[in-house]
Amino acid sequence: MTADLPEDPGQCAACGGSMASASARKSLLAHSNGKRYTLYSCPHCEIGFWWPLQADPSIYIDEGFDAYKDYHSGTRPFPRWAEPLFDALPERRGAALDIGCGDGSVLRRLAAQGFAAYGIDLDPKSVAIARDKYGLENVFALTLTEWKQRCDASGTRFDLITFFEVLEHQEAPLAFLADVIALGVPAAMVAGSVPNRARFLAPLQRMLSDGDLPPHHFLWFSKAALRRLLEHAGLTDINIDGAGGMSYGTVLSKLVATGWHKGARLGAARLLLLPLGLLAPFAAAVLWLGGILAPQNLFFRCRTAARAE
């Protein structure tokens, strides 16, 4: 994208359809950079996107969100939304590429499964953790365009390409997916995840955190909007499922641990929290069931086109 963007989008960021009949949904003044963004909904593919679409890589490097502090220290838990991948891996254990690989957590498991694992990320601090702490050699601080140029020059192609929680950051998602497809062998498996815009308690999450807002996230996906984008890009055999949920026991333990931590700081006054503690099983059940009915993330897997006969 250029610096001189029009005031309003002329076409959808995902499908390219005309936005002439679309009106702005809401406006936002971002805390991180002081810029104003406007939310639109495409009448053709139903994707939600914030305008202007101008990514800010400094968010990752400068730890604009706490998650990146965890990446940079190598303490980020394995992403729950990536778990479904390991129940659906292709039989061929060839070369795998993880785009937005972070500290290499997905790559480490793919390597353990027998794949030749490669990764790229815009954040050199995370790439350094992947290399120095976890011993991954084929990880690089490169853009997808730069990486594709290298692969074109060497003739390198991949049997599996993944990108978890990456697509929602893209300025030009169709161009991104075109590069992904070009990097795959015929009928390569493509998999990843995006936040579910209709997830349980999404409005509350956005009130408490800027993580799902620009200049961090620009695209808001429903299951239907995600499918339309993948189809429009030319991907086939598309499967989309909910992901990112926690078990009831995990939700309950987190609630109890949070309450105990706060209570410990109150000293004797922590007794006042006991009635709330009795409600923890009920609250955990509500959160657990809500996560099932309206999952936090959407996991997708699909394929590039097979070689023409």
| Per-residue exposure over 76-111, b if at least 16 CB sit within 10 Å of its own CB, e if not | beebbbbebbeeebbeeeebbbbbbbbbbbbbbbbb
Q: What confidence tier does 266 reach under pLDDT thresholds 50, 70, 90?
A: very low
* Predicted local distance difference test score (pLDDT) of residue 258: 64
Q: What confidence tier does 19 reach under pLDDT thresholds 50, 70, 90?
A: very high
Given a cut of 70, whether residue 295 has pLDDT beyond it is yes
Structure tokens at 252: 């309950």
Please give the Cα distance from 226 to 221 (Å, whole number).
6
DSSP class of 81: G
Of 32-36, 92-96, 164-168, 260-264, least confident by mean pLDDT is 260-264
Please give the Cα distance from 38 to 52 (Å, whole number).
7
The identity of residue 236, as a single letter, is T
The tens digit of pLDDT for each residue in 180-190 reads 999 999 999 99
**In residues, how long is the chain?**
309
* Predicted local distance difference test score (pLDDT) of residue 65: 62
Phi/psi at 66 (nearest 5 deg)?
-60, -30
* Predicted local distance difference test score (pLDDT) of residue 302: 98
Rounded mean pLDDT of the chain? Answer: 87
Q: Is 22 helix (H, G, I), strand (E, B) or coil?
A: coil
Structure tokens at 166: 């990456």
Residue 100 Cα distances to 91, 96, 105, angstroms:
24, 13, 11
Kindly report whether the peptide bond that precedes residue 90 is cis, defined as omega within 30 degrees of 0.
no
Given a cut of 80, whether residue 229 has pLDDT beyond it is yes
260 touches 271 (CB < 8 A) = no
Structural element, H or E, at residue 142: none
* Predicted local distance difference test score (pLDDT) of residue 37: 94
* Predicted local distance difference test score (pLDDT) of residue 39: 95
133 touches 103 (CB < 8 A) = yes
* Predicted local distance difference test score (pLDDT) of residue 64: 58
Q: Which residue has the higher pLDDT, 250 or 298?
A: 298
How would you classify the pairing of strands 95-99 and 116-120? parallel
Q: What confidence tier does 265 reach under pLDDT thresholds 50, 70, 90?
A: very low
Q: Which of 162, 144, 258, 165 is nearest to 211 (CA)?
A: 165
Share of the chain above pLDDT 90, in %: 62
Residue holding tokens 């993330």?
A: 297
Over residues 42-51, mean pLDDT: 94
The tens digit of pLDDT for each residue in 50-109 reads 999 987 777 766 655 666 777 787 778 899 999 999 999 988 899 999 999 999 999 999
| Per-residue exposure over 274-285, b if at least 16 CB sit within 10 Å of its own CB, e if not | eeeeeebeeebe
CA neighbours closer than 13 Å in the CB half-sphere of residue 45:
25
* Predicted local distance difference test score (pLDDT) of residue 309: 39
Please give the Cα distance from 265 to 55 (Å, whole number).
40
Over residues 283-307, mean pLDDT: 91
Q: What confidence tier does 276 reach under pLDDT thresholds 50, 70, 90?
A: low
* Predicted local distance difference test score (pLDDT) of residue 95: 98
251 touches 287 (CB < 8 A) = yes
* Predicted local distance difference test score (pLDDT) of residue 44: 93
Given a cut of 60, whether residue 3 has pLDDT beyond it is no
Given a cut of 50, whether residue 2 has pLDDT beyond it is no
Q: Is 116 helix (H, G, I), strand (E, B) or coil?
A: strand
The identity of residue 145, as a single letter, is T
Of 133-142, 222-231, 272-281, least confident by mean pLDDT is 272-281
* Predicted local distance difference test score (pLDDT) of residue 272: 47
Packed helices 173-183 and 223-233: angle between N→C axes, nearest 10 degrees: 60
* Predicted local distance difference test score (pLDDT) of residue 284: 83
| Per-residue exposure over 210-221, b if at least 16 CB sit within 10 Å of its own CB, e if not | beebbbbbbbbb
